[in-house]
Homo-oligomer: A and B are copies of this chain.
Amino acid sequence: MVQVIVLNGGSSSGKTGIARCLQAILPEPWIRLSVDDLVDALPSALLDSDSGISFGQHGEVGVSGGFREVERAWMAGVAAMARAGARVIFDDVFLSGSASQERTRASLAGLEVLWVGVHCDPVIAAGREIARGDRATGMAASQAEVVHQGAVYDVEVDTSHTPSLDCARVIAAQLSLVASRRR
């Protein structure tokens, strides 16, 4: 039984929309968490390049040891939620590709995880970034491909020309398949 669905994709690739659609179509209740929730929870002293996480004017993300330390504890909590029975859809951005995936994998050790790659054409993601109007210009294009470098998935979707709800259906079908196989 899958306990955590990890959605990995660049900024503006459509992960949040897919996560909401998954919540709507899956028969069991799933909660939706994201590293953005951690960023919202931080003190302003950690929203700074030297000691925390920072977001540059052109969409670059800087992460320091101080942020990593808090993130590690926060991820331990997310894993504990899943171990305690909450079904978790986790929206992630593997800024360092496979190295990031290994870090997330280590945090989720012992849990049944469905790894999902959420791809999006960088040009289309950059267009969505403009349409959203709430992200630094450049983040979508700079993350679109690097976040998938070396990452390994159970299922991959591409939101470039496929609506979030259809992507969610593909993921839900894979979830059923995995569930039936492992029975």
**When the two chains form the complex, which single residue of B31, B44, B45, B80 contacts A133, counting CB atoms closer than 8 Å?**
B44
Contact A24 B130 (CB under 8 A): yes
23 A-B pairs (CB sep. < 8 Å)? A17-B132, A20-B130, A21-B130, A23-B43, A23-B45, A24-B43, A24-B45, A29-B42, A29-B45, A29-B70, A30-B43, A31-B70, A32-B43, A33-B41, A70-B86, A72-B85, A73-B82, A77-B78, A77-B80, A77-B82, A127-B165, A128-B163, A131-B165
- Residues of chain B within 8 A of A43, CB atoms compared: 23-24, 26, 29-32
Interface size in chain A (residues, C-beta < 8 A): 53
Whether, in the assembled complex, A111 has its beta carbon less than 8 Å from a beta carbon of chain B, the answer is no
Interface residues of A (CB under 8 A from B): 14, 16-18, 20-21, 23-24, 26, 29-33, 37-38, 41-46, 52, 66, 69-70, 72-74, 76-86, 124, 127-128, 130-133, 137, 161, 163-166
Contact B44 A23 (CB under 8 A): yes
Contact A166 B127 (CB under 8 A): yes
Contact A20 B132 (CB under 8 A): yes
CA distance A165 to B30 in the complex (A): 33
- Residues of chain B within 8 A of A17, CB atoms compared: 128, 131-132
- Residues of chain B within 8 A of A29, CB atoms compared: 42-43, 45-46, 52, 66, 70
Most buried by B among A69, A81, A164: A81
- Residues of chain B within 8 A of A16, CB atoms compared: 131
CB closest residue in chain B, given A161: B161
CB closest residue in chain B, given A134: B20
Shortest CB distance A83–B (Å): 8
**When the two chains form the complex, which single residue of B21, B86, B124 contacts A73, counting CB atoms closer than 8 Å?**
B86
CA distance A124 to B12 in the complex (A): 19
